[in-house]
Every structure is written in structure tokens, then in C-alpha cells.
């Protein structure tokens, strides 16, 4: 395995993770977003300016596949933290897109969705396991059972008690106190990194366009505040 200690550059170092709670402060969020706003990477440094939109025609994701450096290690985390169930692990097989490369796949199931997560070890032509870059994936979200604020708070407490460090949260992605961080979506969430530095969100109570309008009417973004 090559460079097992590799940490992608998009991962917050531990010292910065300690300040993640400041993201609940509006002035701090706007300060963080000021530079990408000035350089035109975002049209605004105010997270409230981004509204909630009606979902697309896609109703569900069939499966998420992520590269990992060690299937056994990643499987253990998703079993322990997310309560996922191991379905099957395949033998090495040819990579579907890269001649001379091979992959080994492990399929994980959620309580109501079979084989929704696939953990993939990738081997180059020399037989070495590749290192996931972490740069092609911002994050992915898993919905916790119960789907209420209390369920996410209980999940966060459980993970901290088990020794896992949250990278952010728990927060609610809107401007409502006491957990609101000014983002959009309305869902309650907490985040942690898996062994390959994939940023995993555990969430509940996502806004729909209907319940958003029930609270705010036609107001969007900064108009709410």
C-alpha cells in the first residue's frame, strides 16, 4: 500500500477543526467566504443568500461507490458508526475502466436499502493499492434512523462517547436558533471523517420546499433575516 499516512489537502487539520464551532457565527462564516466571493468563485459571502429549491426528478440514489485503502478498516467503521450491514466482499477482478488495473469490492447495506454503499480497493498494474485523492468528492450524507433533531443529537453524543471526533456539528442548516449555522437545507447534521478522509454527514429532517414555504413563505436567503 502506498503512503498510508496521506491526508488530502481538502481535509481540515485538527487545529482548524477545533474552530469549526465558530461557523455558527454569521460574521465568521462571512469572513471565511469573503475571499472566494471577491475572486468571483461565489456570488455572495452570505450563506443565507442561497435558497432552497425543489428536488430534481431523481428520487433516490441507487448506490454510492468510494475508493478506500483498506476494506476491512472501512467496513469496521461503517458497521460501528453507521450501523451498516456487510453484504458481500468480492474477489479481485479487472478494473472496468483501466487496462491492467484490478479492484476488489465490498458491499454494505443500510436497514432499508440493500448494498447502497460500495467500498472499492483499487490495485495498479504493480499490485499496489492506490491512495484515494479525496479531491473528487466534497462529502456525502447518510440519514440517521428516526429522522429527527433528537436522533442526530443522540448520534453525535454516542460517537463522541465512543472516541470519534466530529469534524463539525451538530448543527441545523438554517438560521433558526439554537443550532442554526446560516446554511440552507434545514436539516440537522453532524460530520466526521472516515479512514480515507471522506467527509461523511449524518443528518435528519431535511427541508422540503413545502415545509420551507410554511415557515418562510416566499422569502429566500438573506430576506429571511
pLDDT tens-place string over residues 179-208: 888 787 888 999 999 999 999 999 998 877
- Looking at the structure, tell me whether residues 138 and 211 fall in a common domain: yes
Alpha helices in the chain (DSSP H): 14-17, 26-32, 34-38, 71-80, 149-161, 209-216
pTM equals: 0.81
Residue 101, domain member (yes or no): yes
Tell me the percentage of the chain whose pLDDT exceeds 90. Answer: 47
- Looking at the structure, tell me whether residues 145 and 125 fall in a common domain: no
Distance CA 184, CA 120 (A): 32
- Looking at the structure, tell me whether residues 142 and 126 fall in a common domain: no
Residue 79, domain member (yes or no): yes
164 φ, ψ to 5°?
A: -85, 140
Is the pLDDT at 222 greater than 70? The verdict is no
Average pLDDT over residues 125-146: 86
Burial of 133 (0-12, 13-18, 19+ CB in 10 A): middle
Higher pLDDT, 62 or 162: 162
Give the pLDDT score at 206: 82
Give the pLDDT score at 51: 65
- Looking at the structure, tell me whether residues 140 and 208 fall in a common domain: yes
Distance CA 203, CA 196 (A): 20
| CA 105 remoteness from chain centre | 21
Give the pLDDT score at 108: 96
Q: Diameter of the chain by CA atoms?
A: 59
Residues constituting the chain: 225
Is the pLDDT at 215 greater than 70? The verdict is yes
Q: Which of 174, 143, 182 is closest to 22 using CA atoms?
A: 182
Is the pLDDT at 1 greater than 60? The verdict is no
Residue 3, domain member (yes or no): no
Select from 116, 132, 148 the last residue of a domain. 132
Give the pLDDT score at 73: 96
- Looking at the structure, tell me whether residues 121 and 146 fall in a common domain: no
Residue 188, domain member (yes or no): yes
Select from 108, 132, 156 the last residue of a domain. 132
- Looking at the structure, tell me whether residues 75 and 144 fall in a common domain: no
If DSSP codes are grouped into helix, strand and coil, which group holds residue 119? strand
Residue 2, domain member (yes or no): no
Q: Which of 73, 71, 79 is closest to 118 using CA atoms?
A: 71
- Looking at the structure, tell me whether residues 122 and 138 fall in a common domain: no
Select from 132, 166, 190 the last residue of a domain. 132
How do residues 147-181 score in pLDDT, each as one tens digit?
Answer: 899 999 999 999 999 999 998 899 988 877 888 88
Residues 6+ apart with CB under 8 A from 208: 55
Residue 54, domain member (yes or no): no
Residue 199, domain member (yes or no): yes
- Looking at the structure, tell me whether residues 116 and 80 fall in a common domain: yes
Give the number of domains in the chain: 3
Alpha helices in 67-187 (DSSP H): 71-80, 149-161
Give the range of the structural domain holding residue 65, as residue numbers without chain letter. 60-132
- Looking at the structure, tell me whether residues 141 and 78 fall in a common domain: no
Distance CA 208, CA 221 (A): 15
- Looking at the structure, tell me whether residues 98 and 72 fall in a common domain: yes
Q: How confident is the model at residue 28 (pLDDT cuts 50, 70, 90)?
A: confident
Average pLDDT over residues 66-93: 96
Grid cell locating 147: 429522522
Q: Which of 30, 28, 109 is closest to 64 using CA atoms?
A: 109
- Looking at the structure, tell me whether residues 145 and 191 fall in a common domain: yes
Grid cell locating 216: 418562510
Amino acid at each position: 500500500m502506498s503512503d498510508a499516512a496521506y491526508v488530502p489537502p481538502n481535509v481540515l487539520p485538527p487545529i482548524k477543526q477545533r474552530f469549526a464551532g465558530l461557523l455558527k457565527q454569521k460574521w465568521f462564516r462571512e469572513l471565511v467566504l469573503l475571499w472566494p466571493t471577491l475572486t468571483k468563485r461565489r456570488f455572495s459571502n452570505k450563506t443565507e443568500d442561497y435558497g432552497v429549491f425543489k428536488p430534481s426528478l431523481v428520487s433516490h440514489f441507487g448506490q454510492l461507490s468510494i475508493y478506500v485503502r483498506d476494506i476491512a478498516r472501512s467496513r469496521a467503521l461503517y458497521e460501528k458508526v453507521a450501523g451498516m450491514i456487510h453484504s458481500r466482499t468480492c474477489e479481485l477482478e479487472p478494473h472496468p475502466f483501466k487496462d491492467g488495473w484490478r479492484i476488489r469490492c465490498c458491499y454494505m447495506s443500510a436497514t432499508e436499502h440493500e448494498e447502497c454503499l460500495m467500498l472499492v480497493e483499487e490495485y495498479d498494474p504493480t499490485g499496489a493499492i492506490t491512495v484515494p485523492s479525496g479531491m473528487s468528492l466534497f462529502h456525502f450524507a447518510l440519514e440517521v434512523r428516526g429522522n429527527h433533531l433528537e436522533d442526530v443529537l443522540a448520534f453525535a453524543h454516542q460517537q463522541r462517547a465512543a472516541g470519534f471526533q466530529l469534524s463539525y456539528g451538530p448543527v441545523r442548516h438554517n438560521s433558526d436558533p439554537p443550532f442554526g449555522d446560516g446554511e440552507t437545507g434545514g436539516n440537522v447534521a453532524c460530520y466526521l471523517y472516515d479512514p480515507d478522509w471522506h467527509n461523511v454527514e449524518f443528518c435528519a429532517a431535511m427541508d422540503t420546499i413545502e415545509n420551507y414555504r410554511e415557515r418562510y413563505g416566499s422569502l429566500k436567503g438573506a430576506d429571511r433575516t
